[in-house]
Homo-oligomer: A and B are copies of this chain.
Amino acid sequence: MKQPTICPKFEKAISLLSQRWSALVIYQLLSGSQRFSEIQSAIGISGKVLSDRLKDLEHQGVVKRDVIPETPVIIEYSLTEKGRSLEPVLREIESWSQLWVKPEGDLS
């Protein structure tokens, strides 16, 4: 039974950010536009899931996909204004993590 007393905008924001990998993809793109394989190797995500996430995020207006007609075609992903506006959120998480997270227990 769903009778959420929580603000639907907030809930939607949470569901966007709690989608696995989404926050990490956005965080990665904060350092500038990047290509598919760069993002992939930077955060260790599979091609399939990265492909899904980028489509989602593009659809939600957070990420922009540009086809650059260079010698071999280059596809670049970058943040839109909406995406960049998430920077304070990610920075808060970053500083929280530095204060409160103990690195043990990450068996990768």
Chain A interfacial positions (CB closer than 8 Å to B): 1-14, 16-24, 27-28, 41-44, 59-61, 82, 85-86, 88-89, 92-94, 96-103, 105-108
Contacts and interface: CB of A to CB of B under 8 A. Distances in A.
A54 to B, nearest CB: 16
B97 A88 contact: no
Q: In the complex this chain forms, how many copies of it are found?
A: 2
Contacts of A100: 13, 82, 85
A91 to B, nearest CB: 8
Given A18-B23, A59-B107, A101-B13, A92 B96 contact: no
Nearest to A10: B97
Summarize A's interface: helix, strand, loop or mixed. Answer: helix
Given A8-B106, A89-B89, A44 B94 contact: no
Nearest to A89: B92
